[in-house]
């Protein structure tokens, strides 16, 4: 399950909840500012929650900003784009907010100030004054009535006062009419309701006022919101010694007038209280506005960062993905952020990586195929007995196989990239090869494809074929294929000589017997018929004829032997025993040379044609003895040896002598027929030995010894004979 969308939706949920909370808190703040009295208890809490919200938001924003700065410094992909986007978003959000804030502050100050202008205050003040004037007028009027009533009571006896007061109270609508004596004692009273008696005592200030013959006027508020008009006047008395009396009248102001007066007073008080609260009210509005601004601004910047990060997240992913692709990771897949243009871009990237991955896989497969083919080619080249060289147009070596190394006698694998002419310490064979090749490829009149035989010192012949290599840019070099055909040539030569020998044997051997018989018949018929001198001549002549015919027979037999078809009769042969047997025959002959034998007891029996091997030994020993003929302390060593090597086990016959050795010019052709340094030799001895060795799947080599003399070394494979008999072995 992909957790990225879950995290994203969880983030959206948190933001939505936070937004609702912020909105609710701001709403509460606004309501609490509007209705301070109603929210009085919660106002500080609301304020605190708002401040806490600002602090939390600031902390979140600081965290985001720190992360942004860190990413920016660390050059995290996409951080610069995010920073730029945040700066733009932030500017777009913060600047208008600040402008609105400043203007709102200004409007707030002006608005609140405009509530409390001088005209309103003065108007309210005037309303209160007007109420007071109206009520003063009413009070004075009531005072005059009280004075009138007091005058009317002047000639009345105390006994008649209650009835009169009752009558007057009802007529005037007063609550109380009380007549006090000079000491404040109640002389008579008329009260609307006894339980509603306001004050049965005459107040001291009233007493002081009326004692000085002045009318007392008083106007005071009541707990029930009404007003009480109290008036007092001295009752004039005709007799001078009569006791002073005072009339106190208390009237309640009509309800409608009281309410009007109270309304004016209340409006005045409220206005002044509000005016007094103007400054803290401004503070409150400013704080609320500032909190709203801070919350809005911090939230906006925070959301701007978050939005920018979300907006640039696909870019960030694309950068990382591009880097990964740059490093060769074509498996990069980006999650689709949305279905908009960015989503299209990411989808395109994913398609691109998909195609790149396919292409890469195909390229890898192709590379593997090429590598495989290269390995196969290397194996093939390594397995080829044909030498293969690839050189570029500058004749720098590019490819060389093992066969080329073997044929040219040089480890060419270490010379890759080296120009052929620059290869130092090359053997003469290679130097000649390179020289011929360069002349052929770069010389005048060079052709694109050619075949030629190169004769290389000392005795190698190579058949060389060359073809140009071409690539898309044109000619890229040459491939040179060559075979060492020395052996082939020798074989062809051997075959030619064999054919010659066979023809000679056939053509010469047939007349020899009649010649010999004819000569012997002549001698027999004429021996007794001719004079002695002529008979002697005849005898010598026929003898010479017979002798020469014998000699010719021997020669023809030798040729016949050389040309004979390989019909081997293999059997188990103990080579050591055979050597000892043959050597013993030669030891029996008189010879000045010493014949020595060295037997390797490890040598097992081998499967071979015993007679042919005997011939090999005969020829080699005979050659050796002839070679030391006339040499002081001449000796011939016949040795057998068991050899074990990477190509398998083999039996080695080694015949060495201390004679004159091979002449240098003959050395290369010593195994060819008719090549001999002996005046009477047929030149077929070593050729036959070579032929027999090859018939047994073996090889032969001959060379001069550094200490003098020569050696011939015949190698006969053991395993090959046991498991896979050679061509000549049935």
Q: What residues line the site for other proteins (CB under 8 A)? A: 32, 36-37, 39-41, 43-44, 47, 128-129, 131-132, 135, 205, 219-221, 223, 227, 261-262, 264-265, 268-273, 276-277, 279-281, 283-284, 287
CB of 184 to other proteins, least distance (A): 19
CB of 128 to other proteins, least distance (A): 4
> DSSP alpha helices (H): ranges in 116-222?
118-152, 161-172, 204-211
Q: What's the Rg (C-alpha) of the chain?
A: 73
The dihedrals phi and psi of 308, each to the nearest 5 degrees, come to -60, -40
CB of 46 to other proteins, least distance (A): 8
CB of 218 to other proteins, least distance (A): 9
Give 127 or 546: the residue with its C-beta nearer to other proteins.
127
User: How far is the C-alpha of 459 from the C-alpha of 453, rounded, in Å?
Assistant: 13
The dihedrals phi and psi of 365, each to the nearest 5 degrees, come to -60, -45
CB of 248 to other proteins, least distance (A): 17
Q: Are strands 176-181 and 245-252 parallel, antiparallel or unpaired?
A: antiparallel
**CA-CA distances (angstroms) from residue 438 to 403, 425, 449?**
20, 18, 14
**Paired tokens of 306:** 């978050």
CB of 148 to other proteins, least distance (A): 24
Give 223 or 239: the residue with its C-beta nearer to other proteins.
223
One-letter-per-residue 3-state SS of 89-136: HHHHHHHHHHHHHHHHHHHHHHHHHHHCCHHHHHHHHHHHHHHHHHHH
CB of 59 to other proteins, least distance (A): 25
Q: Do 61 and 18 contact (CB within 8 A), yes or no? A: no
Kindly report the length of the chain: 730
CB of 276 to other proteins, least distance (A): 6
Give 31 or 509: the residue with its C-beta nearer to other proteins.
31
Helix, strand, coil abundance in the chain, percent, nearest 5: 60, 15, 25
Give 32 or 542: the residue with its C-beta nearer to other proteins.
32
Give 287 or 530: the residue with its C-beta nearer to other proteins.
287
CB of 96 to other proteins, least distance (A): 22
Residue 412 DSSP class = G
**Other CB atoms within 10 Å distance of the CB of residue 88:** 12
User: How far is the C-alpha of 449 from the C-alpha of 30, rounded, in Å?
Assistant: 100
**Paired tokens of 505:** 């044997």
Give 270 or 446: the residue with its C-beta nearer to other proteins.
270
CB of 282 to other proteins, least distance (A): 9
Closest CA to 168 of 146, 184, 187: 146
Residues with Cβ within 8 Å of residue 12, at least 6 apart in sequence: none
Give 266 or 544: the residue with its C-beta nearer to other proteins.
266
Give 283 or 344: the residue with its C-beta nearer to other proteins.
283
Q: Do 480 and 509 contact (CB within 8 A), yes or no? A: no
Give 279 or 374: the residue with its C-beta nearer to other proteins.
279
Give 219 or 674: the residue with its C-beta nearer to other proteins.
219
């Amino acid at each position: 399950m992909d957790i990225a969308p879950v995290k994203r939706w969880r983030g959206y949920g948190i933001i939505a909840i936070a937004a609702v909370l912020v909105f609710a808190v701001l709403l509460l703040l606004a309501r609490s500012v509007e209705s301070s009295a109603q929210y009085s208890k919660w106002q500080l809490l609301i304020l605190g929650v708002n401040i806490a919200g600002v602090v939390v938001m600031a902390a979140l924003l600081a965290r985001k900003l720190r992360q942004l700065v860190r990413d920016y410094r660390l050059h995290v992909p996409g951080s610069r784009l995010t920073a730029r986007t945040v700066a733009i978003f932030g500017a777009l959000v913060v600047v208008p907010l600040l402008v609105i804030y400043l203007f709102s502050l200004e409007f707030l100050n002006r608005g609140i100030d405009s509530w409390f202008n001088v005209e309103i205050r003065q108007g309210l003040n005037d309303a209160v004054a007007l109420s007071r004037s109206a009520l003063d007028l009413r009070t004075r009027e009531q005072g005059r009535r009280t004075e009138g009533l007091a005058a009317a009571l002047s000639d009345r006896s105390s006994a008649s006062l209650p009835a009169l007061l009752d009558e007057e109270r009802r007529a005037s609508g007063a609550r109380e009419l009380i007549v006090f004596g000079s000491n404040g004692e109640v002389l008579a009273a008329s009260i609307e309701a006894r339980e509603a008696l306001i004050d049965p005592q005459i107040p001291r200030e009233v007493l002081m006022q009326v004692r000085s013959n002045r009318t007392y006027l008083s106007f005071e508020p009541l707990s029930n919101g009404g007003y009480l008009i109290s008036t007092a006047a001295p009752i004039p008395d005709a007799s001078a010694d009569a006791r002073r009396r005072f009339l106190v009248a208390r009237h309640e102001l009509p309800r409608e007038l009281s309410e009007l007066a109270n309304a004016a007073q209340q409006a005045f008080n409220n206005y002044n209280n509000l005016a007094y609260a103007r400054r803290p009210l401004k503070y409150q509005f400013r704080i609320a506005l500032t909190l709203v601004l801070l919350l809005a601004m911090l939230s906006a910047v925070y959301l701007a960062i978050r939005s920018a990060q979300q907006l640039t997240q696909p870019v960030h992913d694309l950068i990382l993905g591009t880097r990964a692709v740059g490093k060769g990771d074509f498996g990069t897949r980006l999650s689709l952020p949305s279905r908009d243009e960015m989503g299209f871009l990411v989808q395109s990237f994913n398609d691109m990586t998909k195609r790149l991955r396919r292409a890469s896989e195909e390229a890898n497969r192709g590379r593997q195929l090429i590598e495989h083919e290269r390995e196969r080619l290397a194996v093939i080249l390594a397995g080829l007995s044909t030498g293969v060289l690839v050189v570029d147009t500058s004749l720098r070596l590019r490819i060389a196989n093992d066969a080329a190394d073997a044929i040219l006698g040089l480890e060419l694998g270490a010379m890759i990239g080296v120009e052929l002419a620059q290869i130092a310490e090359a053997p003469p064979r290679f130097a000649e090869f390179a020289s011929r090749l360069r002349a052929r490829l770069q010389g005048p009149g060079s052709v694109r494809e050619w075949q030629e035989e190169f004769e290389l010192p000392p005795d190698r012949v190579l058949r060389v074929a060359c073809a140009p290599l071409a690539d898309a840019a044109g000619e890229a070099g040459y491939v040179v294929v060559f075979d060492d055909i020395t052996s082939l040539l020798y074989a062809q030569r051997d075959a030619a000589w064999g054919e010659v020998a066979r023809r000679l044997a056939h053509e010469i051997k047939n007349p020899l017997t009649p010649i010999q018989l004819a000569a012997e018949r002549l001698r027999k018929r004429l021996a007794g018929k001719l004079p002695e001198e002529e008979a002697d001549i005849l005898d010598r002549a026929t003898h010479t004829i017979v002798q020469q015919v014998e000699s010719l027979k021997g020669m023809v037999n030798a040729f016949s032997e050389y040309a004979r078809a390989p019909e081997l009769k293999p059997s188990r042969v103990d080579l050591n025993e055979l050597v000892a047997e043959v050597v013993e025959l030669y030891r029996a002959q008189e010879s000045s040379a010493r014949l020595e034998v060295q037997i390797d007891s490890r040598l097992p029996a081998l499967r071979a044609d015993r007679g042919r091997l005997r011939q090999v030994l005969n020829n080699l020993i005979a050659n050796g003895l002839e070679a030391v003929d006339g040499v002081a302390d001449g000796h011939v060593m016949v040795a057998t040896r068991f050899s074990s090597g990477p190509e398998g086990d083999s039996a080695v016959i080694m015949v060495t002598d201390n004679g004159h050795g091979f002449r240098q010019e003959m050395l290369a052709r010593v195994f060819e027929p008719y090549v001999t340094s002996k005046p009477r030799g047929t030149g077929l001895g070593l050729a036959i030995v070579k032929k027999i060795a090859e018939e047994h799947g073996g090889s032969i080599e001959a060379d001069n010894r550094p200490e003098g003399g020569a050696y011939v070394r015949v190698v006969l494979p053991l395993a090959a004979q046991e498991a896979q008999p050679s061509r000549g072995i049935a």
